[in-house]
């Protein structure tokens, strides 16, 4: 093998190939090079197989979530999919994460499906029995009720126990006070009739909170549950009120997107100022719009920023380029030009 010496280091070389050091010659200690980096997972067959399986499971779960009836149909045909469907159903039932993606309609459905029904497994408490669970030294525990459902709040003793900031909720069903803020004897009642839609949404959110953070231990006999643990007509009426509130909220959200509230200010010497920008009423958009009065029967008028270019929101295929200006629920402010982005109104 031809060699040459350079700076005391002998090298071997072959014609047309790069020279390489000869390190095992006399005077040079032998060295062992150890590669401490693991092989790339992309080159590992086992890893590739795991990624492929995970990808298939992900695609199947997406199909299950998006179209459960069709997935069930195919699972009846293919035995393998039947086992997969069973696993996915168990995931949905016991996973705490699916509740974060739960729609309002799914919440109502889940609440109805989880109604305590007549049977020995449901504990039905009287109001006087519930009152004993106020967290005092001689009490059997620390419970509260909301909408007739009783929760053990012992782990929140600092809040619900004697001397706590929410101790007035303990040992009773004070549903109305959760949204009214009236924490005296007259306000801490279970009657929720006649509340606003926003209050019913608030009660729904409180139920979600207790279902997530505390353990439901039974129901209290009275307005919402019978002495056998069955739901009453008042409970059914309450669910209708919550459903109506959810529907109204959805409509208002859509309305707020189409007709965002104006920016508003008032000055004693100038009166009220209404003006539009591309972010008003908490709605960010690409257009600015012009101020208009928005009115519906039985509702108070409000200022809305109205899109004045493009096709109408209710008929995207229309030839009109006036945006939503022709909506019958809009009218101009007196003394304000039709194209102005700002209006001053004397009180």
* Residue 286, C-beta contacts closer than 8 angstroms, at least 6 positions apart: 278
**What's the rounded Cα separation, in Å, for the pair 272 and 301?**
15
Average pLDDT, the chain: 81
Q: Which tens digits make up the pLDDT trace of 241-281?
A: 999 999 888 878 888 889 999 999 988 888 899 999 999 88
Instruction: Indicate whether 49 pLDDT > 60.
Output: yes
Residue extents of the structural domains in the chain: 1-31, 45-95, 113-251, 259-345
Dist. CA 90–CA 286, nearest whole Å? 44
pTM (2 decimals)?
A: 0.50
Higher pLDDT among residues 68 and 28, named by residue: 68
Superfamily of 113-251 according to CATH: Cytochrome b5-like heme/steroid binding domain (3.10.120.10)
Q: Which is nearest to 291 in space by CA: 261, 314, 319? A: 261
Average pLDDT over residues 328-338: 91
Please give the Cα distance from 337 to 325 (Å, whole number). Answer: 13
Whether residue 272 contacts residue 286, with contact meaning beta carbons closer than 8 Å, is answered with no
pLDDT at 97: 45
Per-residue pLDDT tens for 52-64? 777 777 777 666 6
β-strand 124-125 against 20-21: which pairing, if any? Answer: unpaired
pLDDT at 326: 93
pLDDT (tens digit, 9 = 90+) per residue, 103-150?
Answer: 555 555 555 555 554 445 689 999 999 999 999 999 999 999 999 999
Q: pLDDT tens digits for 22-41? A: 444 444 455 555 555 555 55
């Amino acid at each position: 093998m031809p060699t040459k010496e350079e700076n005391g280091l002998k090298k071997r070389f072959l014609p047309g190939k790069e020279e390489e050091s000869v390190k095992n010659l006399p005077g040079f200690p032998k060295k062992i090079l150890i590669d401490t980096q693991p092989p790339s997972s992309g080159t590992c067959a086992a890893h590739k197989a795991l990624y492929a399986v995970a990808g298939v499971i992900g695609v199947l779960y997406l199909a299950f979530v998006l179209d459960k009836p069709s997935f069930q149909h195919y699972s009846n045909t293919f035995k393998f999919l039947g086992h997969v469907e069973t696993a996915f159903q168990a995931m949905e039932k016991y996973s705490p994460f699916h509740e974060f993606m739960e729609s309002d309609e799914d919440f109502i459905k889940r609440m109805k499906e989880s109604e305590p029904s007549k049977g020995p497994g449901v504990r039905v408490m009287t109001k006087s029995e519930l009152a004993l669970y106020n967290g005092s030294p001689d009490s059997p525990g620390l419970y509260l009720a909301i909408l007739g459902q009783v929760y053990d709040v012992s782990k929140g003793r600092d809040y619900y126990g004697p001397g706590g900031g929410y101790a007035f909720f303990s040992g009773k069903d004070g549903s109305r006070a959760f949204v009214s803020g009236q924490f005296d004897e007259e306000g801490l009642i279970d009657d929720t009739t006649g509340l606003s839609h926003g209050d019913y949404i608030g009660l729904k959110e409180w139920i979600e909170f207790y279902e997530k953070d505390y353990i439901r231990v039974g129901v209290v006999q009275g307005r919402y549950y019978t002495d056998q643990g069955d739901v009453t007509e008042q409970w059914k009426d309450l669910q209708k009120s919550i459903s109506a509130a959810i529907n109204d909220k959805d409509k208002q959200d859509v309305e707020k997107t189409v007709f965002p509230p104006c920016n508003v200010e008032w000055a004693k010497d100038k009166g009220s100022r209404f003006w539009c920008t591309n972010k008003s009423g908490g709605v960010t958009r690409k257009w600015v719009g012009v101020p208009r009065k928005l009115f519906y029967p039985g509702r108070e008028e409000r200022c809305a920023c109205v899109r004045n270019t493009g096709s109408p929101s209710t008929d995207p295929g229309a030839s009109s380029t006036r945006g939503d200006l022709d909506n019958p629920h809009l009218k101009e402010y007196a003394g304000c030009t039709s194209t102005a982005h700002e209006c001053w109104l004397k009180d």
